[in-house]
Amino acid sequence: MGQQLIKVPPTKNTLLKLKKQVRFLEDGHDLLERKRELLTRLVYERIGEYRRLRAESERALAEAYRCLAITHLRMGSRAIRQASLGVEPALQVDILPRRALGVEYPAVTSERLPLKPVGLLGTDVSFDTTRDHLAEAAVQLARLSEVEIALHRLLEEQRKAQKRVNALKYNIIPRYHRTIRFIQSSLEEEERNTLFQVKLLRGQAR
């Protein structure tokens, strides 16, 4: 399979076309290789960012749930539900498309809104503290989600680029080179035969 040739007539015209095509393929391979290297660099950068944000998100969530547990003990689940009904959002999230090296992923921006204290009768002060920590955890999770999605899509594109680079390097381009060598050899053989016949005819003419 690896030694297959391209099925084309072994002519000079075909040889010129194949040489032109193989140069185009080699240029394409170089561009893809550069893209793969850039994608690999981006992936490593995102991995570092992802690990940092994941650790920060885990810490923020742990603190938020610790505060929620305290509020639950002090107020009870029914009072928390009632107090939550009139609470305004503490976070504004915007999602816009972003592109990097042809890879599209969502750009997530989150902004903390002013936290209005809840002054309901029977509401413990820990209720507002819990809201504050939950909002902060949500900001961290929004950042983490952007990096995680971007990392996944960049990895997918990097794998595709690697697959195409390998296909060109180890299969398609070598096949063109083998076909070019075969045609060159065939044309040289044909030229030698023609010269031999010409010499033979000259000898007979004498």
Q: What pLDDT, on the 0 to 100 scale, is given for residue 85?
A: 80
Q: For the chain, what are the domain ranges?
A: 26-154
| pLDDT tens sequence across 53-85 | 999 999 999 999 999 999 999 988 888 888 888
Give the right CATH number for 26-154 from 3.40.50.150, 1.10.287.3240, 3.40.50.2300, 3.40.50.920: 1.10.287.3240
Please enumerate in sequence order all residues whose Cβ is within 8 A of that of 96, keeping only pairs 6 or more positions apart, or say none: 106, 107, 109
What DSSP assignment string belongs to 89-116? PSEEEEEEEEEETTEEEEEEEEEEPP--
Model's pTM, two decimal places?
0.76
Q: What pLDDT, on the 0 to 100 scale, is given for residue 2?
A: 45
Residue 139: alpha-carbon gap to chain centroid: 24
Is the pLDDT at 186 greater than 70? The verdict is yes
Closest listed residue to residue 110, CA positions, set 147, 76, 135: 135
Is the pLDDT at 1 greater than 60? The verdict is no
Residue 110: alpha-carbon gap to chain centroid: 23
